[in-house]
Amino acid sequence: MTLYIFLGRYDLSAKNSADDITRFFVVGDWGGLPFLPYETPSENAVAKAMGKLGTELNTSFQLALGDNFYFDGVRSANDPRFEHTFEHVFSATSLQTPWYVLAGNHDHLGNVSAQIQYGKTSKRWIFPDYFYTFSLWQSDKQKKLIDFIMIDTVILCGGTNLSDWEHAPLEGPEKPHVAEIYWQWIEEQLQQSTAPYLIVSGHYPIYSVAEHGPTQCLVDRLRPLLHQYKATTYLCGHDHNLQHLVDDMNETHLNYFVVGAANFISNNHDHAKDVPPNSSKFFWAGSIVFGGFGLIEVNNVQMNFSFIDRSEKTLYQTTMIPRF
């Protein structure tokens, strides 16, 4: 496995819109079905809402937070699932913009390297490796606005088979020496970030009140690093609902967003007592045919995060400010 650091090739410039705000979507656990019709009502509803809202808001790109293909990933870069579950569903003109992709546990049950390979022929599927970075630059291209760090939490924490990730705690990484190399890489990227906003994205949650709950490996290893280097937020999926949690540590404040409601919906609070007291600020799990996703709107003054449902209704919104 090769370590890649992509800090230039896939960089973006902020759109010079009338209000000087760049907007992009966050969507997780959207991966359809492995049999006809290869999609779910929620996935279709989310895709339609994103497409319509993307046109209205002139969105720039998407973050895709894993579990891209239920239930066992893909087998090759030519797997028809790319067409059936992705291209055919997220077909709106406004969504023909970059999709920055990472892998979830269901993707690891298949061939993640095939998803990476698909990015070499797709015009919008950006997935250069299991771990990578990119940046959003301000419209004058003189200063970064956001640094993004995309990570593979399965490689870091385990979960390469069904029995592992369905039952907490995870048993640990399959290759501990590889995980340690990536932990070092993550800290290096955090330390090097100079952007006013720093977004780290993975599949497993650090904190969640729902079915899978907190990921102890990430609580122990990633959470302290995010606070130490003053990350703006950690984005994830895995639990099939929408959540906002906050956490304070060493006089730093961190926002966690679980965005896993684009395909299946689960109204579960099994781990409500396993997160820090008063940390859960929002939870949503609509009916089985109602999907949800995230929208980030950002300029050099503030970053707004909104949860949106399939009717394009804003369910919840919160604001974050630059790190410095």
In three-state form (DSSP H/G/I as H, E/B as E, the rest C), the secondary structure along 31-61 is CCCCCCCCCCHHHHHHHHHHHHHHHHHCCCC
Is 167 known to sit in a ligand binding site? no
Q: Is 240 annotated as a binding residue?
A: yes
| Spatial separation of the C-alpha atoms in residues 164 and 255, rounded to whole Å | 27
In which residue are the tokens 């990933």 written? 73
CB 279 within 8 A of CB 31: no
**Residue 238 marked in a binding site:** yes
Please check if 253 is assigned to a binding site.
no
Burial of 179 (0-12, 13-18, 19+ CB in 10 A): buried
Please, is 191 exposed, middle or buried when counting C-beta atoms within 10 Å of its C-beta (0-12, 13-18, 19+)? exposed
User: C-alpha distances in angstroms, 169 versus 13, 23, 213, 216?
Assistant: 40, 36, 10, 7
Q: Is 207 annotated as a binding residue?
A: no
Could you check whether the bond before residue 205 is cis, i.e. omega within 30 degrees of 0? no
Which whole-number Å values give the CA distances from 26 to 29, 48, 99, 225, in the listed order? Answer: 11, 14, 10, 23
Going by C-alpha positions, the residue among 147, 165, 76 that lies closest to residue 114 is 76
Binding residues: 29, 67, 70, 105, 203, 238, 240
Q: Which residues are annotated as a binding site for Fe cation?
A: 29, 67, 70, 105, 203, 238, 240
